[in-house]
A and B are shown apart, each in its own frame.
Chain A
Amino acid sequence: MKQKFPILKNFKIFAIISALLCITGLVSLLALPFGMNLFNFDIDFAGGTQMEFQMHDVELNADTLNEIQALVEEATGVKPNAPQAIGDSKDQVMIRSTSLTSEQRQAVSDAMNEKYGLTEDDLLSSEDVGKTVGNDLKKAALVSAVIAVILMLVYITIRFEFTSGLAAVVCLVHDLLVMLTVYVIFQIPFNQNFIAAALTILGYSINASIIVFDRIRENLHTARKETFEEVAERSVWQTMGRTINTTLTTLFTIGMIFILGVSSLRDFTLPLLIGILSGAYSSIFLASSLWGFFRKKFRKHA
């Protein structure tokens, strides 16, 4: 693709756009240790019980939802969160509360069946995660993300150089923060699937940065008079076609699951879509500028 506008020279503009996209995610993340939770933590991490029923012809308005809440409280002695109408035609209800015992969950099912004429088949799903399991999952998530990033940094340092690895990792952190922002703004249930989505983006977005870096590495071999910035600029535009087309093909398949898939898959694919877009953005507009920046820093200190 021909150069349409300078990318490395306009780094500040792109960096400001990125900062705006990241800030919500970053703030929400930093607020966590201070007891402020802006995320919609799913029972995976928070612990708790979540049950979903198919309600058929029962109209799920504010009254019935309140009725269901009262019903659950009566059956278990535990007041659940406000039940939500879910599903494409809003004919399913989701009940979430702190972790219930098996007997309590049984009581909920029985009460629902009796009151609304449901059968065993109408219990669409029932999940319960104890507090310790939730904590274990959180720990595993953090550990796996850190290990993955370190391994990638090591690999890139071996194949390229440390400064490019650093640039790629900054892009990764950027992409993850953008995903977190989306989670906070759209209040997507934050669960195990986020870990899978985040690590996929980790692999995928660094993939795009590496294609660009690979071209810079190749062009640097033959370049004599050009500065690093000029070589990088040229390389970004040379790989532009690939970056855009690959992003598009991946968006086609993932986008289809998002449009057609069941709700649990949709929650999983939305962050993937965002991550893929953000990954393309960061590898085009940020990656090579950052590499140039770290190279300069590195040389000054050396």
Chain B
Amino acid sequence: MKKSIISFIAVMLIILFMTTAAVTGLTIPGGFVSPVNMSAEDAASAKVLIPSIHDATNGIRRGLDLVGGSSITFEAQLPEGYDMGNLSDDMATAQGLLRARLTAEGYTEANVSLQGEKRLLVEIPNIKNPEDAVQMLGATAKLTFMDITGKEWLTGSDVKKATAVYGKPTEGAIADEWYIALEFNSAATQKFYEATSAISQMEQGQNLLAIVLDDEVISAPGVAQAINSETCSISGSFTEDSARELANLINVGQLPFSLSQVELRAVGPQLGADALKTSVYAAAIGIALVCIFMILVYRLPGFVACIALGFYCALELLVLGWLKVNLSLPGIAGIILSIGMAVDANVVIFERIKEELRMGKTVKSAIDSGFKRAFTAIFDSNVTTLIAAGVLYFLGTGTIVGFATTLGLGVILSMFTALTITHFLLNRMVDFKIRNPKVYGA
């Protein structure tokens, strides 16, 4: 008896802890506070153990349909006779181009990802005029090489290839480092020679050959002497990433295709905020209705199911936050649907317990055989739902993937909750000498 009381209290405390942590977050130092509610200094040094549901940086991210923003898909318009072998390299160049343009425009939270073989998905939160972004990103890239006076010496089409290389940038160099090997077309060698001879004559600090993309200087290496060669190297404390990034951008001039927008989904911030608010509202009322129904129909086990449901909701939020799931509108629908379904396993078990009680079994053995016999039904039915969620996850696109994630997660967690927490709590009820079959709905 004593053991039962202690373990019962322990489990209830764990549920309380998880629920609190999911709502407020748990940060060290700071305790149950999310960095969102801290001063900037404290937030910088804080280590987030459990992200709060309000913490979109460390926890559940909010999809563009909830915060407002644009997702734009560009497709490479491949010319006839295009060598498909170059596609992945060229797409990396195009991806770098879009990233550089987004950064230059100040959209630092924007994200560019490859979709399939020849499409790029750009996601920009909090943007009000999507068409500006579509046109800015889709414009043909203009790459030029200028001196400090703004005189244009070469253009992107003079470049044959730029590659990020690890090794010695010049023959005299001592240590290996990351640099960019730049190769010009043979026709441009003369132009490059003229440029470098003119620039190298300039004063120290002014002798720069600026590489300009659109209107943004992406690199400005110094030129020490005239170079009469098809190749040259740009060096100077590059990391592997920054070297590759710059090489990709210099290759923009060779991009044999243009990017055209094939899909746009832009949601204004107001619509997104409304969607989030009403969904949370709907979830709260839905859960309340489910709890009332369960208690009315199943009495004590129904009440236990409500506690388990609370545990389930907290667990789901914690896992979603931990996985940093990108929550979209259909994703919320998936969560709410899975709450309704989370009760299903409990219903199956309780119905079974009722049947066993009617056959004259004691409460204790009815609970035991109820769980045992309901298991195959719960397992088989959940696996089929998981199959659907899995197919959606792997084959779906966009917001559908978010829906599949929350639904699949919900199914797994709800099965776990019903088979552990509900079972545990019901057994404790029996230990507490609550053994009148009527209380169990018989």
Q: Is the CB of B351 within 8 A of A241?
A: yes
> Are A195 and B396 in contact, CB atoms less than 8 angstroms apart?
yes
Complex CA–CA separation, A144 to B355 (angstroms): 39
Contact between B131 and A106 (Cβ–Cβ < 8 Å)? yes
Residues of A within 8 A of B286 (CB): 252-257
Q: Which A residues from 252 to 281 make CB contacts under 8 A with B?
A: 252-257, 259-262, 264-265, 268-269, 272
Q: Are A102 and B261 in contact (CB under 8 A)?
A: yes
Q: Say yes or no: B391 contacts A265, CB within 8 Å.
A: no
Within 8 Å by CB of B381, from A207, A255, A257, lies A207
- Point out the residues of chain B lying under 8 angstroms from A248, CB to CB: 293
Distance between Cα atoms of A204 and B73 in the complex (Å): 33
Interface string of A163-193 (1 = CB under 8 A from B): 0000000000000000000000000000011
A260 closest partner in B (C-beta): B282
Within 8 A of B (CB), among A105-127: 105-106, 109, 120-127
Residues of chain B within 8 A (CB-CB) of A264 are: 65, 275, 329
A144 near B333: Cβ-Cβ < 8 Å: no
A246 to B293, CA, bound (A): 11
A215 near B395 with CB under 8 A, answer: no
Looking at the assembled complex, report how far the CB atom of B292 sits from the nearest CB atom of chain A, in whole angstroms.
9
A132 within 8 A of B: yes
Q: How many residues of B sit at the interface, in one of the four size bands?
A: 35 or more
Question: In the complex, are the beta carbons of A155 and B265 less than 8 A apart?
Answer: no
> For the complex, would chain A's binding face be called helix, strand, loop or mixed by DSSP majority?
helix
Please give the residue numbers on chain A whose beta carbons come within 8 Å of chain B beta carbons, in ascending order. 52, 54, 102-103, 105-106, 109, 120-130, 132-133, 137, 140, 143-144, 147-148, 151-152, 155-156, 159, 192-193, 195-196, 199-200, 202-204, 206-208, 210-211, 214-215, 218, 238-239, 241-242, 245-246, 248-257, 259-262, 264-265, 268-269, 272
Is there contact, CB below 8 Å, between B278 and A260? yes
State whether A120 touches B400 (Cβ < 8 A).
no
Which listed residue (A196, A241, A256) contacts B282, Cβ 8 A?
A256
In the complex, the answer to whether B297 meets A245 with C-beta atoms within 8 Å is: yes
Does B281 reach chain A (CB closer than 8 Å)? Answer: yes
Cα–Cα distance between A206 and B381 once the two chains are bound (Å): 7
Q: Which residues, 263 to 321 on B, are CB-close (under 8 Å) to A?
A: 263-271, 274-275, 278-279, 281-283, 285-287, 289-290, 293-294, 297
Q: Is the CB of A102 within 8 A of B385?
A: no
* In the complex, B380 has a CB within 8 A of chain A: yes
> Which of A151, A238, A250 has most B Cβ within 10 Å?
A250
B384 within 8 A of A: yes
A80 to B403, CA, bound (A): 32
Question: Whose C-beta in chain B lies nearest to the C-beta of A264?
Answer: B329
Chain A residues within an 8 Å CB radius of B403: 196, 200
Question: Of all chain A residues, which has the CB nearest B286?
Answer: A253
B142 at interface, CB cutoff 8 A:
no
Contact status of A200 and B388, CB under 8 A, knowing A253-B340, A256-B282, A265-B333:
yes
Contact pick for B377, options A129, A143, A211, A252, CB 8 Å: A211
Q: What separation, in Å, do the CA atoms of A180 and B340 have in the docked complex? A: 24
Greatest chain A CB density within 10 A among B265, B281, B289, B387 is at B387
Cross-chain contact of A249 among B264, B343, B355 (Cβ < 8 A): B343
A246 to chain B minimum Cβ distance, whole angstroms, is: 4
B135, A102: Cβ atoms closer than 8 Å = yes
Q: Which of A109, A200, A215 interacts with B407 by CB under 8 Å?
A: A200
- CB A251 to nearest CB in B, in angstroms, measures 8
A151-B387, A152-B384, A245-B297 in contact; A257/B333 too (CB < 8 A)?
Answer: yes
